[in-house]
Structure 1
Amino acid sequence: MANNNNQLPTLTPEISEHFKPEVLKVIRNSIAPTANDQEFLLFAHKAASYGLDPFKNEIFFIKYGQTARIQFAAEAYLSKAREKDGFQPPDTQMVHENDEFQIAMNKETKEMEVVKHEIGFPRGKIIGAYSIAYRDGHRPVTVIMDIDEIAHMFTGQNKDNWKKWTQDMFGKHVQQRALKKQYGLEFDDETITYGQEEGVPEYQPRERKDITPNQEPINQPEPEEKPEDNVVALRKQMKQKFNQIGVKDNDGVNEYLKKNNVKLSQPATESELIGLIELLDMHIDMQEAQAQASDDELPE
């Protein structure tokens, strides 16, 4: 089914009831411009069924080459929790290295609780976070996390945002877990993959940029490009990507290649390495999304 952003596919009753046609066109053109008809239909249906607002970043559509992903954001949990009986705003706090902070086991509930949190200045670096989800008629649910538990966020694809907005990102992460437990919220992320037989996403050459300084002579010959240098750099980048997903030896690499039906020449070509790196980037993104989305609940 071709993607024509000027026309909408046949809509489900839920979509028609929840979104006006003009709003759907804006969502398609601005929120999910890369979606084909079926992907957009599924995205809009999930947003409508759960009563989520794409414009408030409660639900996202993400496309990685041959894979599309519908992801629910932390804001979705807070939005739906507000609709539940007995809702009370959660208390989410950062713990800094100079804070006085204590947790203890509640003898009655057998759950860990924050018993002391006092702050002074300077507070020092963030070392942890907690969120207490309150609800009338229910015991508070407390989720406590050490910053080491989300260390992978600072080296992944979204690392810049995590480093720049640590308090906001960490707070939403831990709050989402607490709200999920307290209000029984469950959203099902959706992943749609096409062309599994190809294994590696098709390589699209990137646009070359002219970086020659203006003061250089126009007729100056370009330095000769050494393919072997590119391959060495790509191999180094590939190894870093494998480390990010926890693959650290040759057996693990071979297992990953076999599982994803990736076939490399001996030695691998530049385009094959670029395609593999793009596939690894996709899995790194998904790994991070899963860590921050609904299926990352702490063990009981």
Structure 2
Amino acid sequence: MSNNQLQAYQGLAYGELTTQDIAVVRSTIAKDCNEEQFKLFMSIAKASGANPVMNEIYPAVRGGQLTVQFGVDFFVRKSKESDGYQGYDVQLVHENDEFKMHQEKAEDGRYFVVIDEHSWGFPRGRVIGGYAIAYREGYKPFTVVMEVEEVEHFKKSNIGMQKTMWTNYFNDMFKKHMARRALKAAFELNFDDETVEGGNDTVPEYQPQGRKDITPNQDIIDAPPTNEPTEEEKQIKSIRTKITKKLKDLGVVGKEQVAAYIAKNAPKMGENPSIAELTGLLDMIQMEIDMKEMQNGDELE
């Protein structure tokens, strides 16, 4: 890689990652990304503090669309950095194992899972399920219990590497998937896989530092131009239209609901958002939609 190419990545270095590290990431796990997608991926990695060299975050491109995925190692590290971390356990359940569990009701009225028995001998038979338990001081253990059928669809993924990993290393991938879910919930880690809409030439500039504070109020979204619109104003109007549609997809309809959404997600947003800010808002809403879809279908490791 030439010095000019290395210089182009200087602004993407962060933490312990050097410019040379970024170049290695570009030529290995990010080799399927175009330059815009790669810079967007690194911006998300930098904003979240996830290290691609340590397998904490990685990109996948399918049909010209970029998906940024967080690995279980990232969730483990962030959990260790959280207050009250006491470790986690993850186990597979095989068809010949003795396995029993039940639910109990905590003092606050919420239920939690208790594993009564899990013992085994050999041969254990095929894997039929599994569980992960995250331990946090002052809280009941948070347990995720899953059956194999809930993750079989990963073997049919149209993301090539994901399909390969789940097919060839199913047991390991299943354990990582359950551990990630347990740690994410127990330590309230709000890092989600992100899908960025657009083809090779339409990936927007990412605005990592402003994600929480980039939502304009509804009057700004709907306000008509006061003069003959410029090209920039036309673009802003187009993005506003998309924002309104995406909010409706989230079920956020009407000025009261929109106002509540804005108050919760972007109380400090200025009243003259730029194209980049509106694009960032659109991305944030899309990521929330994607997150709900993943929660419903457990899509993407």
Letter in 2 for 1:49: A
- 2:46 aligned residue: 48
Say whether residues 1:167 and 2:171 are aligned partners. yes
Letter in 2 for 1:44: M
Distance of 2:23 and 2:148 partners within structure 1: 41
Distance of 1:156 and 1:34 partners within structure 2: 17
Task: Write the deviation string for residues 44-93 of structure 1: whole angstroms up to 9, x where unpaired.
Answer: 22212222111121111222242122221222211211211221221100
Report the Cα offset of residue 176 of structure 1.
0.8
Q: What is the aligned length?
A: 203
- 1:285 aligned residue: none
Say whether residues 1:145 and 2:146 are aligned partners. yes
Q: Is the 8 A contact 1:133 1:178 kept in 2?
A: yes
Letter in 2 for 1:120: G
Structure 2 length normalisation: TM-score? 0.58
Structure 1 length normalisation: TM-score? 0.58
- 2:122 aligned residue: 121
Letter in 2 for 1:61: P
Q: CA RMSD in A?
A: 3.3
- 1:76 aligned residue: 74
- Structure having the higher Rg: 1
Distance of 1:58 and 1:52 partners within structure 2: 6
Q: Is the 8 A contact 2:6 2:19 kept in 1?
A: no
Distance of 2:27 and 2:296 partners within structure 1: 29
Decide whether aligned partners of structure 1 residues 30 and 57 sit closer, same or farther in structure 2, where only a CA change above 3 A counts.
same
- 2:23 aligned residue: 25
Decide whether aligned partners of structure 1 residues 169 and 9 sit closer, same or farther in structure 2, where only a CA change above 3 A counts.
closer
Report the Cα offset of residue 159 of structure 1.
4.3
Matches within 5 A, 1:251-270: none
Report the Cα offset of residue 175 of structure 1.
0.9
Distance of 2:298 and 2:153 partners within structure 1: 16
Deviates more, 1:172-181 or 1:113-122: 113-122
Letter in 1 for 2:185: K
Letter in 2 for 1:20: T
Question: Per the alignment, in what secondary structure is the counterpart of residue 90 of structure 1?
Answer: strand
Q: 1:103 is matched with which residue: 101, 126, 137?
A: 101
Letter in 2 for 1:11: G
Q: Is the 8 A contact 2:10 2:19 kept in 1?
A: no
Letter in 2 for 1:138: Y
- 1:85 aligned residue: 83
Report the Cα offset of residue 128 of structure 1.
0.5
Distance of 1:195 and 1:117 partners within structure 2: 48
Distance of 1:98 and 1:16 partners within structure 2: 48
Decide whether aligned partners of structure 1 residues 25 and 296 sit closer, same or farther in structure 2, where only a CA change above 3 A counts.
same
Identity %: 36
Q: Is the 8 A contact 1:177 1:294 kept in 2?
A: no
Q: Is the 8 A contact 2:56 2:73 kept in 1?
A: yes
Unpaired stretches in structure 2, ≥5 consecutive residues: 201-289
Letter in 2 for 1:194: G
Structure with the higher fraction of residues in helix conformation? 2
Report the Cα offset of residue 138 of structure 1.
1.8
Distance of 2:139 and 2:29 partners within structure 1: 37
- 2:213 aligned residue: none
Unpaired stretches in structure 1, ≥5 consecutive residues: 197-288
Task: Write the deviation string for residues 257-282 of structure 1: whole angstroms up to 9, x where unpaired.
Answer: xxxxxxxxxxxxxxxxxxxxxxxxxx
Say whether residues 1:176 and 2:177 are aligned partners. no
Q: Is the 8 A contact 2:9 2:23 kept in 1?
A: no
- 1:154 aligned residue: 155
Q: Is the 8 A contact 1:74 1:293 kept in 2?
A: no
Q: Is the 8 A contact 2:9 2:19 kept in 1?
A: no
Q: Is the 8 A contact 2:103 2:111 kept in 1?
A: yes
Report the Cα offset of residue 113 of structure 1.
2.0
Deviates more, 1:182-191 or 1:142-151: 182-191
Distance of 1:166 and 1:104 partners within structure 2: 27
Report the Cα offset of residue 16 of structure 1.
4.7
Distance of 2:150 and 2:32 partners within structure 1: 33
Distance of 1:42 and 1:294 partners within structure 2: 24
Distance of 1:58 and 1:293 partners within structure 2: 19
Report the Cα offset of residue 38 of structure 1.
3.2
